Amino acid sequence: MPLFPATIRILPGTWLALLGLLPAFLLCAAGQPQHDSTAPPQAAGSTPGPVAATSLSATSRRAYAELLKLRVEPARAILRDELQRFPTSAGALLVADCIDFTELMVLQNAARYEAVVLAQDQRLAILDESGERGPLREYARAEIRLHQAAAQVTYQHEVQGAWSLRQAYQQLQAVAKRYPDFMPARKTLGMCQFMIGSLPAGYHWFLKLLGLPGSVAAGLQNLRLAAQHPHDFQPEARIVLALVEETYYKKAEESAQLAQQLATQQPDNLLFSYLLISMQKRLHHTDQALAAYRRRPTGPGYLSVPYLHHMAADLLLYQGQYGASLRANQQFLREYQGAHYRKDAAFKLYLAAWLSGETATAESYRQQIAAGGRTIVEEDAYAQRFYEGKIPLSRTLTRARLQIDGGYYRAALSTLHGLPASALLRDRLEEPYRRARAYHGLGRLDSARLFYTRTIALAGKTSYYFAPQAALQMGYLCQADGQLNMARLYFQKALDSPKHEYKNSTDAKAKVALAGLPATQLR
């Protein structure tokens, strides 16, 4: 689930950025996990703690399958007897921790934090004293410690979280070195390596201080190995690899196909429905995303996922269904217990009311932006900057932006037609940028290049995000055309941009793109 990222005091947002993809069990598998033929799954009722365990027991596997559907209480019920019979089983302890951690991170219930961390400490102590040997025990220790790091950072215990992350990373390195064919360790180590390696250069001193070496290339290699070979957690590796490739390498269609495949195979899986909705939204397929939202599984046993309503509110806003968008975001705020996305929700409530012509109501939602929540995630930071800036938005540009976000490119160009010149620099930059995005979405790439370069030329050293994003997109277009020197220049221009609302994510994408280019290009 999205924790998704930006900056903290001793850089807590760095850790959120790093850990946002790491709870892979929240982005998981289709069907029953597969198993290495050299380590067959145990029969039901057999002892789940062999001398050198390499896979989950049948009972732990069934519990994990329920967890992947976000059916937390049924998962706990399945696992309860096994934990009573085999209290030191590494596989059972790992799945139990996944259940607690998933619930904590999805519900964002701060009242549960201390109990979850205490339970993690107890599981780690049991594993430290356990007579069980083999890669599964060592992997379970590293995974539980990593879960603890994510929880500690999320609930503002950044120093403890940094130390826990360091311990987990070192343990993962040790497991991968001692058991090079144990693919689950490569899956998690690969995620760590990639996410650390993609962080902007300004964070490197901090990561070096903690002894956390990152490498985009090594991370991708480990993720691909874990995605290609059968093991309990192979589907996780496939999904995380697909998300990484869609986000950083523009492999959108492959990722969308995987999300659709998983949701089709398991229509009762709420997690796969979430993944499909999120992927379709990111690909600007609003109609398909809303259809997936409306057919998501519901009922007793499923974990509540309030963020789904926030996503739906965005989708409805793109379609101009302002009343329905208001209701969806209000439901999100009623049900959600966390601190993230509150400012973003208030901003979207403002937009829905303002675009409906309800001026007084819109102003009350604008004031709500400053009333609560944090500015760790970029969407919240954008909302707070809007509130503090007090610069009026253009209704025409705002409608066009929402239409483009929704994939309604022709409608956006129609909205922008005849837009009068503005005295505001922000509007003069946004107008060509929106046109570029619309043309890009329609595949009219020459027109897109024209307006991207116009945006960059007009921007100079301003702190708006339009020019850095235009530079990033130009880099991708040049890369696709084989103009690698030009691509390098544009990616570097995105990195060199002044601070803006989306700098962390823009810089990460530009850095990964640069790392993927050949070291030299013949002229």
- Total number of domains constituting the chain: 3
User: How would you class 211 by CB atoms within 10 Å of its CB: exposed for 0-12, middle for 13-18, buried for 19 or more?
Assistant: exposed
The percentage of the chain sitting over the pLDDT mark of 70, rounded to a whole number, equals 88
Q: What is the mean pLDDT of residues 418-428?
A: 91
Give 32's pLDDT tier (boundaries 50, 70, 90).
very low
In a domain, 308, yes or no: no
Residue pair 306/341 in contact (Cβ under 8 Å)? The answer is: no
Whether 77 has a pLDDT exceeding 60, the answer reads yes
Same domain, 209 and 275: no
Q: What is the mean pLDDT of residues 292-318?
A: 96
What residues make up the domain containing 295? 250-300
pLDDT at position 52? 63
Same domain, 109 and 226: yes
Same domain, 425 and 294: no
Tell me how far apart the alpha carbons of residues 359 and 348 are, in angstroms, rounded to a whole number: 14
Residue that terminates a domain, selected from 270, 300, 330: 300
Same domain, 201 and 255: no
Same domain, 191 and 164: yes
Q: Which two tokens stand for residue 284?
A: 């600007």
Same domain, 221 and 82: yes
Give 50's pLDDT tier (boundaries 50, 70, 90).
very low
Q: What is the mean pLDDT of residues 113-142?
A: 95
pLDDT at position 313? 98
Same domain, 264 and 223: no
pLDDT at position 520? 59
In a domain, 367, yes or no: no
The pTM for the full model equals 0.85
pLDDT at position 212? 83
Q: What is the mean pLDDT of residues 401-410?
A: 98
In a domain, 11, yes or no: no
Q: Bigger pLDDT: 50 or 412?
A: 412
User: How would you class 189 by CB atoms within 10 Å of its CB: exposed for 0-12, middle for 13-18, buried for 19 or more?
Assistant: buried
Give 6's pLDDT tier (boundaries 50, 70, 90).
very low
In a domain, 204, yes or no: yes
Q: What is the pLDDT of residues 320-363, one digit of tens each?
A: 999 999 999 999 999 999 999 999 999 999 999 999 999 999 99
Average pLDDT, the chain: 86
Least confident of 2-11, 149-158, 269-278, 475-484: 2-11
Tell me how far apart the alpha carbons of residues 270 and 69 are, in angstroms, rounded to a whole number: 5
User: How would you class 389 by CB atoms within 10 Å of its CB: exposed for 0-12, middle for 13-18, buried for 19 or more?
Assistant: exposed
Tell me how far apart the alpha carbons of residues 69 and 274 are, in angstroms, rounded to a whole number: 10
Find all residues with CB under 8 Å of 501, minimum gap 6, and list them. 378, 381, 382, 385, 465
Same domain, 241 and 160: yes
Helices (H), 108-251: 113-129, 135-154, 158-178, 183-197, 204-209, 216-228, 234-249
Residue pair 259/50 in contact (Cβ under 8 Å)? The answer is: no
In a domain, 445, yes or no: yes
In a domain, 101, yes or no: yes
Q: How far is CA 521 from CA 250, 256, 325, 471, 491, in A?
A: 22, 33, 49, 20, 15
Same domain, 96 and 114: yes
In a domain, 311, yes or no: no
Same domain, 127 and 157: yes
Find all residues with CB under 8 Å of 220, minimum gap 6, and list them. 190, 194, 241, 244
In a domain, 339, yes or no: no
Same domain, 258 and 236: no
Give 89's pLDDT tier (boundaries 50, 70, 90).
very high
Residue that terminates a domain, selected from 210, 231, 249: 249
> Tokens 């429905």 sit at which residue?
273
Residue pair 42/242 in contact (Cβ under 8 Å)? The answer is: no
Least confident of 34-48, 240-254, 278-292, 428-442: 34-48
CATH number at residue 437: 1.25.40.10
Same domain, 82 and 186: yes
